[in-house]
Amino acid sequence: MTARIYISGFVQNVGYRQFVKGIARQVGLTGWAKNLFDGRVEVLLSGDQEIIEKTIKKFWEGPFLAEVKSIDVDWVKEENLDGFEILH
């Protein structure tokens, strides 16, 4: 399964993408994270659906200084991804 996730709040310039990358690598998910121009962070996670759902719950914590206001998830057609990247 693959989930496209949009995280809003105070999530840019606080290490949020690195936080997401660390969690994804710990649990064996692939994908990427990037900042959006509107202040949100977009994340694509691919792997086991149950693991993705548990991982998304951890995204509410965020790194120190981050303040997550909302998380929106869209399940999309699976993509073949290798590793986890931070996109710019």
Find the distance separating the first CA and the last CA of the chain, reported in whole Å. Answer: 24
The one catalytic residue in 4, 35, 40, 80 is 35
Q: Active site includes 40?
A: no
Q: Active site includes 17?
A: yes
State the SS3 of 68-84. EEEEEEEEECCCCCCCE
The one catalytic residue in 4, 13, 17, 80 is 17
Residues annotated as catalytic are 17, 35
